[in-house]
Amino acid sequence: MSITPVVGREVELAALEAFLDRVPSGPVAILVTGEAGIGKTTVWHSAVEAARGRGYSVLVTRPSEAESGLPYAALGDLLADIDEGDFASLPVAQRRAIEVALLRAEPGVEPLEQRMIGVGLLAILRRNAARNPVLIAVDDAQWLDEPSANVLRFAVRRLADGALGILASVRTDRGHPDVVGFSPAVPPVMVETLGVTALTLADVDHLLHDRLGVGLPGVTLRRVHDLSGGNPFFALEIGRALIRQGALSAGLGLPVPDTLRELVLERLYHLPGPVRDVLRVVAALGRPTFGTVRAALGGDPRIDAAIGRAEDAGVIELDNDHIRFSHPLLASVLHGEAAPDARRRLHRRLAEVVSDPDERARHLALSTIEPDESVALELEAAALRTRARGAPDAAAALADQARKLTPADRPADIARRTIAAAVASLEAGASDRAAELLEPLAASATGPDQARALLILGRVRTYAAGLHSAEPLLEQAAAVAGDDPMLQAAIGRDLTTALTQTGDLRRAEAGARQTVAWAEQTGQDALVAAALVQLAMVEFLLGRGIRSDLLARAAALPLSDEEPSAGGAAAYAPADLVWGAVLKWSDAFDAARSRFEDVRRRAVAAGDETAWSSLLFQAGELELWAGAWDRAQAMADELRMAAERRPPATQQDHAYLVAALLAHRGAMTEARESAIAALAQTDLTGDLRFRIRAHALLGFIDLSVGAAHAGRDHLERAWVLFRDAAYDDPGVIRFVPDLIEARVLAGEAGSATELVGWLEERGRTLDRPYALVAAARSRAVVLGSAGRVEDGLAAIRDALDHQSRLAQPFELARTRLVQGGLLRRAKAKRDARDALAAARVTFEDLGARVWADRATAELGRIGGRAPTTTGLTPTEARVAHLAAEGYGNLEISERLFISTKTVEAHLTRIYDKLEVRSRGELARRSRSGEFPDVSGGAPG
């Protein structure tokens, strides 16, 4: 269906027609922008009707200024016509979130996570777009209520593909036009801004003929066009003024007011006073209906006639029982024209008659500027209710107004409402506002009120300035909190997190144990689970292994949304995420992946970006260790997108993971830059774990390129930080073998031997394959440096014995590299070539360019190598030789420590280069000496 023509809008309508053509291959978006009255809604409406004519699913909302304070009003509009089956298909948590947000279900005690509503909306959009193209149509998007805007942004930014279009009109005098937040959701090339421009003189003439049935003389028409600037709303209002004043002839002047406001008021004041009284009520209501207007005006029988008169004048439009101004300017001018006292009296009256509790709260908030405990109490209740519905931004505004209206002689109420406003502000991402509210209270309050203020202020500081800035606040909070177990458990949880991450594990352990005790007194499963997880993590870092008993208990606790928290629960790591991490650090990669998958499934269902980001980092590092570097890179890319939505001070995990991948792949300049960025982030966060990681990675980069002295400086710094913090588990940050090698290269075999002893003891005590492999290989390096080659080779055999339990190909290749060097020194050339060729193949398969070059250089130090002149790479030549000798693909893969798929890929290239079709022909070419074994001949 084509768009219905509109006077003077041929260009705009053509652009919208083209936009609708692109929706089936979306997502695409278009912003219709312009000044008030320019005709945005007219062209928007034409596009909406055309989309419906095409069979698109059209989700519409037309918010008004009066309802912009009603949480999820626009979301309710958008989902009004969605099939109930789409709601029923949602996971329970998502369905309940939307039902609570839209007042279809009662909220629980704990606040609903707004992101859960966004996840539910995203699922509905995807489900609908799979059936028919979907158009989200928002008129006057500048009046979107903030909760609706937030969940819409959340969903839109995650729609990577799908038959979806977004059409929004927005006034350009109301800030940035992208109020829906298309960027970075939709690719920039798919977002279009369509400016609605002024009408021409001829178009204005046509409009006046079409809408008012008048034709103006040329001079008058030009004057109307000049005064209106081609704005159709202004032109029509001027035309109406001319009609009212009988000034249509060319010989009369043009008695038009100087401002648009005066022009609109003149039109409104030509209506009788009783009609204007009714219209003031309509303008003040968020969603005016006949019933509400009648109730507000005491059931005056003349109301229906007044509404009819206003409709005849084109001031309002009726949709069944609902009343709407024909243009939002009419409502805003009429409401703003009333005296402040009159407006407050009107809002007080409306608060008595509206049925929606959120709208009642809005009217109460606008009804007074003097302290009033009864109003403050209602606003506080509304803030709690609104926060429970997952609208922290709206809740913050209500709680703040409640605080302002609380009488000065009620300090406890002021403190409670201040904290509520700060918590909601923090949840809404307004950390600066939360700090403004809390800092005076933290300085003036005493006892539990001060403790609560300090607790939330600690979270604000963590968010804005890093963990180290929160510690003194949390310590002070614990000192003044008294014996309230709920409050002390919440403080203890945050303080333990800060101490763990800033590197004071001994104090963190004591804090974790005390927090478990406080939490158990509360009887709240969520607090108990968080405390148990923290204690398990701290004990692991202290070198006591996996506390499966604590983690199993935490994972088994039924977490209910009915459990209240002390001033708003801080996010904590789910038990399965911590369990997966400690399994990863313990080399149980498959078991860790299983735990991570459970976390991934729940995080996706819940839209939990905090858990999702932590998961991406942990899982990405696991795949880096496991040699699945492409998979790790995909996770790093996802982590980058998640990091973009977080404060800069919390983006160190992404910077580190990217740097580690770059370093292993040999992009050393970029790796160093990213590692330095990760290190700089720790200055903001105070996170010691990432500071150690960054120093360790910089040391690995230097060691990889032969800058052992510079690398040692970083590695020694990492070791000092590691031990000062009381870390005693070798699997968390895997840098000690690099430090041992750096010390050996510096001629300090004695101190290197001490580190080998620590690795061996930890490996035996904790039964850790990584530590045992690394310790044995490191001992071989130390022994080799002392000339004890045979003892070194014995240590390598120990390392290879343990290697079967360690799924880390990079570590295996490093072990083979050390083995090859020792064998070369032992004059065992063939075995040396085999070991070094195997190391090089693995490094090449991984993409570890620098390390593959090291293996090649070591091979070059072995005399008697035969060159290859066939165009085969050394690895291909080795595979070709073994295949020609009769080895099968599996045997070749085992011999060279590569996968059978890699062997198959090498053989495909070999056959192509040598133009052979069978292994028999390959064997004949080999016997002719065309490609001698570059690593010393066939295995014997």
Contacts of 714 (CB under 8 A, 6+ apart): 695, 696, 698, 699, 702
pLDDT computed for residue 869 by the predictor:
52
In this model, does residue 842 exceed pLDDT 90? Answer: yes
| For residues 540-549, average pLDDT | 95
Contacts of 201 (CB under 8 A, 6+ apart): 221, 222, 225
Paired sense of beta strands 28-34 and 316-319, if any: unpaired
In this model, does residue 805 exceed pLDDT 80? Answer: yes
Is residue 165 within 8 A of residue 19, CB to CB? The reply is: yes
Count of CA atoms in the C-beta half-sphere (13 A) of 554: 27
| For residues 664-689, average pLDDT | 90
What are the pLDDT digits (tens) for 628-672?
Answer: 999 999 999 888 766 555 555 457 888 899 999 999 999 999 999
C-alpha span between 420 and 422 (Å, rounded): 5
SS (H, E, C) 775-841: HHHHHHHHHHHCCCHHHHHHHHHHHHHHHCCCCCHHHHHHHHHHHHHHHHHCCCHHHHHHHHHHHHH
Paired sense of beta strands 164-171 and 134-138, if any: parallel
In this model, does residue 564 exceed pLDDT 70? Answer: no
Whole-angstrom Cα Rg for the chain: 36
For 25, other C-beta atoms within 10 Å of its C-beta total 13
What are the pLDDT digits (tens) for 387-423?
Answer: 888 888 889 999 999 999 999 999 999 999 999 999 9
pLDDT computed for residue 174 by the predictor:
54
pLDDT computed for residue 321 by the predictor:
80
- The amino acid sitting at 800 is L
pLDDT computed for residue 560 by the predictor:
52
pLDDT computed for residue 593 by the predictor:
94
| 769 token code pair | 């394959």
What are the pLDDT digits (tens) for 818-841?
Answer: 999 999 999 998 899 999 999 999
69 or 564, higher pLDDT? 69
Q: Identify the bridge partners of residue 34 per DSSP, sorted by sequence position.
A: 171
293 or 238, higher pLDDT? 293
Q: Which of 25-34, 375-384, 763-772, 889-898 has the lowest mean pLDDT?
A: 889-898
pLDDT computed for residue 259 by the predictor:
65
Contacts of 48 (CB under 8 A, 6+ apart): 58, 60, 135, 137, 167
Q: Report angle CA 567, 568, 572 to the nearest 5 degrees.
A: 130
Is residue 473 within 8 A of residue 461, CB to CB? The reply is: yes
373-388 vs 411-427: helix crossing angle, rounded to 10: 30
Q: Which of 595-609, 723-737, 842-856 has the lowest mean pLDDT?
A: 595-609
For 189, other C-beta atoms within 10 Å of its C-beta total 7
Q: Identify the bridge partners of residue 32 per DSSP, sorted by sequence position.
A: 169, 194
Helix (H) or strand (E) holding 380: helix 373-388
Q: Which of 272-286, 784-798, 911-925 has the lowest mean pLDDT?
A: 911-925
pLDDT computed for residue 932 by the predictor:
55
Question: Across all residues in the chain, what is the average pLDDT?
Answer: 84
422 or 260, higher pLDDT? 422
pLDDT computed for residue 409 by the predictor:
93
Helix (H) or strand (E) holding 149: helix 146-156
pLDDT computed for residue 936 by the predictor:
39
pLDDT computed for residue 778 by the predictor:
96
| For residues 113-139, average pLDDT | 88
pTM summary value:
0.76
What are the pLDDT digits (tens) for 437-480?
Answer: 999 999 999 999 999 999 999 988 887 777 778 889 999 999 99
User: b or e along 125-136 (b: 16 or more beta carbons within 10 Å of the residue's beta carbon)?
Assistant: bbbbbeeebbbb
| 516 token code pair | 């478990």
What are the pLDDT digits (tens) for 516-531?
Answer: 999 999 988 888 998 9
C-alpha span between 892 and 834 (Å, rounded): 12
Kindly indicate the confidence band of residue 544, based on its pLDDT and cuts at 50, 70 and 90: very high
In this model, does residue 308 exceed pLDDT 90? Answer: no
For 756, other C-beta atoms within 10 Å of its C-beta total 25
Q: DSSP of 513-535, one letter per residue?
A: HHHHHHHHHHT-HHHHHHHHHHH
| For residues 500-507, average pLDDT | 91
Dihedral sign of CA atoms 805, 811, 816, 818 in order: negative
Beta strands in 630-782 (DSSP E): none
Quick one: which of 675, 684, 806 has its CA closest to 737? 806
What are the pLDDT digits (tens) for 341-364?
Answer: 888 898 888 888 888 888 888 888
pLDDT computed for residue 571 by the predictor:
45
| For residues 360-385, average pLDDT | 89
pLDDT computed for residue 566 by the predictor:
42
pLDDT computed for residue 250 by the predictor:
46
C-alpha span between 158 and 137 (Å, rounded): 18
Count of CA atoms in the C-beta half-sphere (13 A) of 253: 3
